[in-house]
Structure 1
């Protein structure tokens, strides 16, 4: 009977230390994601206002797709902002555990996640399911609303440790602006002619059905068979 009580008390203790903790982090991430959506919407409005008169053919548009996703279309690129509904911890041996901040309270390493992906706008428009996007950055928020960012370019080092201040709209705007610049600096590259010279009838029919060649932002265009070959290398 004592063992059963002990096990039960352990369950209650873990509900307090894990379940309640994760719910708090989830609420924090929802709050931050709402601010991120607001920042992205304002950024879209400013870009549209400042550039549409110069070249109205360059479309800049914001769309709040659903609770956990929003998108910014700027010309041929799409920035997708999404929030994961779960809470995560870092893998064993991650550098984060060596920081005094985490050593002082291990529960501070648990985080909610907001992703920033880059896709081609046509990938979304034509629903080309074989197309590949790239993760530009992920924003991690803990129970104290402190944050860090993992990403490409400047986003790989500017916010690499948990912040002393809470994340806010100004910081999120800077992160989003850097993400957009990263997208714009990554151009589509034609693959070697020989690698796309041969095509089966099935591949061509699939291509037509998908309204274009399966395309990745960093890969140029590749056929499905070639994508599989590359993945196996």
Structure 2
């Protein structure tokens, strides 16, 4: 005999498990399209620029089902898809929008991340080097999305009700991410901060092909800033 709890389990599976599987499939489709646009961008840059200066490398590489890379000169975009589905914190303003109020299941999203690392960090496997999260794309069951990100990506794609994924939008996100990377230069640390070093530290640096390196992008998501302000 079915119990009340068993009936609730069936109901939750229908409303949550099936929903999350559908969002996962949507996110995987968007990620596949993003990789396609990354490949197109790499091919276009190779044709338009690297023929002029072959020393500037541009290439696309699919690392795995959930990760791909776009190298351009000394920078690299690493895009990755999370295998899980998320909702927003209950205090998020997204729950105040009419779009989500009409159907709270629209707030469940898959996540795609865009990180910036130095190309040499990957080439020389400098595992102590720091990268930065440039943006994350959050995709719901209807393939509507928002982007949380740095620079212009912080505000351009915030209306989930209107934002629907397509090739042109993904290309725009890629190009804006590349521009942000190119406009963020390496910053030398103050001499006084690095002048003292132990022999072990120096030997470790040599084993890792040099000093630990990373761009000082100073990036934080709005939610992280709010958390820090509450401390």
Question: Structure 2 length as normaliser, TM-score?
Answer: 0.92
1:141 deviates by 0.3
1:81 deviates by 0.8
* Equivalent in the alignment of 1:231: none
Instruction: Quote the Cα distance in structure 2 between the aligned partners of 1:143 and 1:164.
Output: 14
1:172 deviates by 0.1
Instruction: Quote the Cα distance in structure 2 between the aligned partners of 1:140 and 1:190.
Output: 34
Q: 1:40 aligns with which of 38, 41, 45?
A: 38
Instruction: Quote the Cα distance in structure 2 between the aligned partners of 1:208 and 1:141.
Output: 42
Does the residue aligned with 2:3 lie in a helix, a strand or coil?
helix
Runs of 5+ in structure 2 lacking a partner? 218-231
* Equivalent in the alignment of 2:156: 158
Instruction: Quote the Cα distance in structure 1 between the aligned partners of 2:163 and 2:88.
Output: 21
Q: 1:190 aligns with which of 180, 188, 191?
A: 188
Q: 2:174 aligns with which of 173, 176, 186?
A: 176
**Runs of at least 4 residues off by over 4 Å:** none
Instruction: Quote the Cα distance in structure 2 between the aligned partners of 1:161 and 1:218.
Output: 30
CA contact (8 A) 1:148 1:163 kept: no
CA contact (8 A) 2:79 2:112 kept: yes
Instruction: Quote the Cα distance in structure 2 between the aligned partners of 1:95 and 1:154.
Output: 20
Root mean square deviation, CA, Å: 1.1
* Equivalent in the alignment of 2:137: 139
Q: Deviations over 1:126-147 (max 9, x none)?
A: 1111111000000000000001
Runs of 5+ in structure 1 lacking a partner? 220-233
Instruction: Quote the Cα distance in structure 2 between the aligned partners of 1:95 and 1:41.
Output: 35
Instruction: Quote the Cα distance in structure 2 between the aligned partners of 1:197 and 1:163.
Output: 53
